[in-house]
Amino acid sequence: MLDFLAFSSDVVPWESVLLALLLAYLLSQWIAGLYTWTYRGLSYSRGYVQSLVLAGIIACMLMLAIGNNLVRGLGIVGTLALIRFRTNLRDPWDMIFIFAVFGVGIAAGTQSFEVAVAGTAVFSLAAFVLYKSGFGSRQQFDGLLRLSLPSSPEVQQRLQQILQSRCRSFVLVTLRETAQGAEHDHAYQVRLWAPAEQAVLVQEVSELPGARGVTLHVQEATVEL
């Protein structure tokens, strides 16, 4: 009655075990390399990239150890439940790559080598296309321009003319009165026509009458329109 709980007598040949682990390693390293190439964030972690490679090997090893045995599977699940993973993944891109290496490891561990190779190929192609095409992105801005100007309509109008001539697009983020209404603090997110326009933009804005504290922070976009 409880025969399905008994340990399986099937023994996986050493050649198949080594082939599965080697394939999981190679495909996981390929995915980790793809992640390194397509990463666009600011907090790059070498440890995370190396963990991607090791995670695929671990997933493969677990599947090889479980085989078709239910008791082994329950035991491994219970053991993993004791481990608390506290890694904070702020980017969904990181989470997807973790799923990718786990999928490769599981496919290799169950000796579905064709699925592992084909899945890696399709995943890599899709990630590459999404990375190069910029799919899903909206209007991006190159930096944040901050300055203080007198509250004169003529000066304000001249600022708008400079932004229109030097920027592909711009948006006012904050506008604050200072010096009892005599000045205005401006913050614009700007998208320039070319990177060379950065110095020209700062110079022309700095030459406005009464302009103070002109700074251009080149950064990743914080607002999309």
Taking alpha carbons only, the member of 135, 133, 132, 102 closest to residue 119 is 102
- Shared-domain flag, residues 128 and 209: no
Please indicate, yes or no, whether residues 150 and 109 belong to a single structural domain of this protein: no
Domain of 49, in residue numbers:
3-133
pTM: 0.59
**Tell me, what CATH number does 193's domain have?**
3.30.70.260
Does residue 156 register a pLDDT over 90? no
Nearest to 216 by CA among 166, 163, 160, 146: 146
119 has a pLDDT exceeding 90: yes
Residue after which a domain boundary falls, among 80, 115, 133 = 133
The more confident residue out of 70 and 218 is 218
As a whole number, mean pLDDT of residues 122-126 equals 94
Name the most confidently modeled range: 15-29, 158-172, 185-199, 209-223: 15-29
Rounded to an integer, what distance in angstroms lies between the CA atom of residue 107 and that of residue 59?
9
Pairing mode of beta strands 167-178, 212-218: unpaired
- 115 lies in the same domain as 149: no
Assess whether 121 and 162 both reside in one domain: no
Task: Please tell me which residue, 71 or 38, carries the higher pLDDT value.
Answer: 38
Say how many domains are in the chain: 2
Q: How far apart are CA 66 and CA 62, in angstroms?
A: 6
Do 128 and 163 belong together in one domain? no
Q: Is 225 within a domain?
A: no
Tens digits of per-residue pLDDT, 77-96?
A: 655 554 555 566 677 888 89
Q: What is the pLDDT of residue 181?
A: 72
Residue 185 covered by a domain: yes
Last residue of a domain, one of 103, 133, 163: 133
| Whether the predicted pLDDT of 17 surpasses 50 | yes
Residue with tokens 């030459």: 207
Residue 129 sits in the same domain as residue 156: no
Q: 108 and 18, same structural domain? A: yes
Q: Is 88 helix (H, G, I), strand (E, B) or coil?
A: coil
